[in-house]
Structure 1
Amino acid sequence: MNAPARIEALEARRRQAMLTGDATTLTEVMHPSCVYVHSSGFIDNGASMAAKVAAGDVRYQSLEFEDEADVSVGDAAVFIYRQRARMLLAGEPHSSYTRCTAVWAPGPDATPRLISFQSAPMETA
């Protein structure tokens, strides 16, 4: 993996897919067994998260990012950032301010995939 440029491009693609509700792209960039931990503590896998986006159960209205950093170790890369999000969850408005960690590593076909994502709530400043 050619990080940091490669990880930034993958993250940008994933983020755009979240904003546009593009479940096909999410399925391409997320490993099906990805461990996706929401700020509430609820856990999805890559397949279930893409399905929620496809069904419209999760609809992101805006995403803002700050304090981005990345670390590469071997073929894996970790992207860390703060995120402000506005979304609809099951049709109900929701907003969050979180610290996020996204872990990317090559899948079985050597294509980098998101294998783990975790967000933790932060106090608003």
Structure 2
Amino acid sequence: MSTFDPVKLEAQLREAEGQRLSAMLAGDLETLETLLDPELQYTHSNGRVDNRDSLLELLGSGAVEYLALNHDFDSITQEGEVAVV
């Protein structure tokens, strides 16, 4: 059983989130496909909900283009191998 290291976990999550945001801004669908879980449910600020495939289609079509994205971590909770941000 591994020991939970909150500092290391937060650094890893921030790095992954930075990669995701950069890929979304760049429209880098190949990177997003590797970063996003196949069971993703993505809720946009307007309330629209997409799964991973429909989000990738939406971004690839040019119907949505992100100009800026910000995500602040308020808390991180870990349960086993799952972390909730």
Q: Same fold (TM over 0.5)?
A: yes
Q: Which residue of structure 2 aligns with residue 75 of structure 1?
A: 81
For the Cα contact (< 8 Å) 1:17–1:26, is it kept in 2?
yes
- The structure 1 segments of at least 4 consecutive aligned residues displaced by more than 4 Å after TM superposition are none
Aligned-pair identity in percent equals 32
For the Cα contact (< 8 Å) 1:33–1:47, is it kept in 2?
no
Q: Which has the higher strand share?
A: 1
Q: Secondary structure at the match of 1:58?
A: coil
Structure of higher RCO (CA pairs closer than 8 Å, 6+ residues apart)? 1
TM-score norm. by structure 1 comes to 0.55
Deviation at 1:78, TM superposition (A): 1.8
* Gaps in structure 1 of 5+ consecutive residues: 80-125
Q: Distance in 2 between matches of 1:72 and 1:10?
A: 16
The partner residue of 1:42 within 37, 48, 53 is 48
Q: Which has the higher helix share?
A: 2
The one-letter code of the counterpart of 2:69 is L
What is the Cα-based RMSD across aligned positions, in Å?
Answer: 1.9
Relative to 1, partners in 2 of residues 1:33 and 1:65: Cα closer, same or farther, differing over 3 Å? closer
How many residue pairs are counted as aligned between the two chains?
78
TM-score norm. by structure 2 comes to 0.76
